[in-house]
Chain A
Amino acid sequence: MSLRNRLARWSGLLSTGVRRTLSRATDTNQQRIQFTVLGVAATIALLVVVTGIGVGLATSTTVYDDDVDYWIIPDTDGDRSLLVATDQPQFGSVHDTNDRIRDHDDVTFSSPILAEVLRAEHGDHTEFVLVVGVINSDGLDQVAGVSTAGLTNDDPYYDGGTAGGERTGEVVLSQSAANVLESQPGDRITISNAEFTVEQTAAGETAGADIPIALVQLSELQELTGADGYDQADQFVVGATTPGVQSELEGVYPESNVLTRGEMTATSVVDSDISLALSLAAFVVALVIGTLFVLTTAGLEIVADRTQLATMSAIGITTRSQLVLTGVQTILLTGIGGLVGSIGGLGLIWLTNAVAMETLTTEPIAVAHPLFVAYGVGVALLMGVLSMPYLLVLTRRVTGGVPS
């Protein structure tokens, strides 16, 4: 058979497989096919929800913002959490370093980030909030999902190595912080015995930022936490116009990592043991259950289909070609199941967050990301691939003979 004929055969088999599967799913064999798709979808939806919760646990207090391109974080040897406000190495001389980073032509903004959980008070209301110190500048629109618009640029309290400048006392509260403290713009609140004026509330758009957060000038937070001695911060966030900046940022501190958004998420999840365990367990359970489900339903489908398979053999369709048709059907059904399950999973994440915030917490506990759709479809396809050997052996066994 010439190459052209081979290609025609393959494309013919693939298109026949696709048409046959879709026709069975929508017309001739609806129930069995839809049962397979729904089984895969349910498993994948569960996987996406648990993964969303795992990622949510790992990244809930990480300073995440859409505009940030790079994070510079201390090298943690892999044994410490990347979450802010935990006991981890910090960077020193961050104001000077920030000036150096900003001098780079391709950097649009940068800021050191220091975060501590501190007691905040307003009237009779006292609450622990995550206080985040930043050096505001044009381009840095929000930090941890809270708008920086209410903060004066360039941290005026910091004065060349000492906190000797003019103290602003500015604070921007996230919606949940404003709610728990019952404060609004213009109110004066106390954080660790220092007075601040609420400039803005509820600004920002990142979903994960419904944690009670107070955004303040970096040096004013350093003074409260004792981090002013060496001008310390936990990490830097940097916005850049070109990817080439990453290599230069890597030279800023000798023992640091410069992470992109994807790397930051991955590192956060991997370094957070519970999140990693949760996500891995969900992956393994979903894969095993999903594969067994596909094996069972698709196996029954093949056995029920033995007359059609025997007919194909009788009219000269080789077992190998029948295996291609079975393979196309399996992959297509698991792929569709994966897609339906992933989208359903995102919906369940929304539902989980809504229920959690209504009953348990003040912030979302699970993160939803469009990448979960690709992840869900990928895992579903893997289920299909893992089921394939058994289904192919079964097809080989039931085909042939005289169609009855």
Chain B
Amino acid sequence: MAVPTLEQRTTVPPVVNAASVTKVYTRGSEPGRFGRLIGRSEPATVEAVSDVSLTIRPGEIVGLAGPSGSGKSTLLHLLAGLEVPTEGAVQYQDTDLASLSNRRRTRLRLEEIGIVFQQFHLLDSLSARANVALPLVELGVGRRKRRQRASELLERVGLGDRISHRPGELSGGEQQRVAIARALVTDPTLVVADEPTGELDTETGRRVLEEFTRVAEDRAVVLASHDRETLAIADRIVRLQDGTIVDSADA
């Protein structure tokens, strides 16, 4: 499949669109009626993302850059439907994610969105292959196909000889690659990855980035990273600072 040009991309409907999104976290719990009565103050709030708008189209790799605490991870979570915005809306294709029930949002993530976490978050009691195949269990894919697909992906990220190992028996880089394979196993339309090469050596990082470039041919990829080389594969780099977009430019 030919990679669409920038002009072509702008004409196709977006995969995900964040419109004036704000996310506010509360530190601590609300005081409640009795708490207010005895003078407990309202808890402190933190605005992690403030009035951010972002459109991501198929075939596009978007890099989120910015210092720690700038809101990159929060924006990724909002785009992936892991959290709902305090204000504004995140639309996945034509669906407002906040309007979906938890169950439907979980189902949407299963079928449409692949997530790579900064800390990998693999299930430590399952083998690498079982970790990768887990979303396919939920989809009702038969055992043979599950194993075949998971093995294939692990092979592709260079872990063909580590399929039976548990996360505890893998290095940080290997765990990250398992997490990447898991994110891709359901063939999602949108892949979001938080520091996907953070734990990888140069050579492995390069292979993983090639994999992201390859998968981005027919889907959208959003990468949050500090790493210049990682961001180099992005079509567009969005810079965040203190929860707001300070720059958005084609790479």
Contact = CB atoms under 8 A, between A and B. Distances in A.
Interface stretch (A87-95, A168-176, A308-316): A308-316
Contact of B123 (A7, A11, A308, A318): A308
Interface string B214-227: 00000000000000
A13 to B, nearest CB: 6
Contacts of A311: 117, 121-123
Nearest to A16: B137
Interface in B35-94: 77, 80, 82-83
B110 A1 contact: no
A4 B145 CA distance: 13
A315 B182 contact: yes
B142 interface: yes
Contacts of B98: none
Given A27-B166, A316-B186, A1 B140 contact: yes
A316 B123 CA distance: 14
A12 interface: yes
B196 interface: no
Given A318-B103, A318-B106, A312 B123 contact: yes
A314 B79 CA distance: 12
Interface string B163-199: 0001010000000000000110010000000000000
B126 A19 contact: yes
Contacts of B143: 8, 11-12, 15
B135 interface: yes
Interface stretch (A119-127, A292-300, A396-404): A396-404
A9 interface: yes
A41 B109 CA distance: 41
Interface string A2-39: 10111111011101100111011001110000000000
A2 B139 CA distance: 11
A194 interface: no
A319 interface: yes
Interface residues of A, number: 37
Contact of B115 (A8, A23, A24, A314): A314
A108 interface: no
Contacts of A403: 117, 119, 121
B138 interface: yes
A316 B117 contact: no
B229 interface: no
A34 to B, nearest CB: 14
A390 to B, nearest CB: 21
Nearest to A317: B138
Given A314-B121, A400-B102, A23 B138 contact: no
A63 B102 CA distance: 65
B125 A12 contact: no
A321 interface: yes
A16 B126 CA distance: 8
A321 B117 CA distance: 21
A352 interface: no
Given A8-B141, A8-B142, A321-B138, A316 B106 contact: yes
Interface string B117-150: 1010111111000100011111111110010000
Nearest to B103: A318
B244 to A, nearest CB: 21
Nearest to B168: A28
Contact of B135 (A7, A20, A316, A401): A316
A23 B122 CA distance: 14
Contacts of B142: 4, 8
A315 B134 CA distance: 9
B139 A5 contact: yes
A7 B138 CA distance: 11
Nearest to A11: B143
A249 to B, nearest CB: 54
Given A5-B139, A24-B125, A28-B124, A313 B106 contact: yes
Contacts of B140: 1-2, 4-9, 12
Nearest to B115: A314
A400 B183 CA distance: 18
A21 B142 CA distance: 21
Contacts of B125: 19-21, 23-24, 27-29
A307 interface: yes
A19 B77 contact: no
Contacts of B139: 5, 9
Interface in B4-51: none
A15 B147 CA distance: 13
Given A316-B106, A316-B186, A19 B135 contact: no
Given A8-B141, A311-B123, 13 more contacts: A5-B139, A5-B141, A15-B143, A21-B125, A24-B125, A27-B166, A314-B82, A314-B121, A316-B106, A316-B110, A318-B103, A318-B106, A402-B83
22 contacts: A4-B140, A8-B137, A8-B141, A9-B137, A12-B140, A19-B126, A20-B123, A23-B126, A27-B125, A28-B124, A28-B125, A28-B168, A314-B121, A315-B134, A315-B135, A315-B183, A316-B106, A317-B137, A317-B138, A318-B106, A321-B138, A401-B82
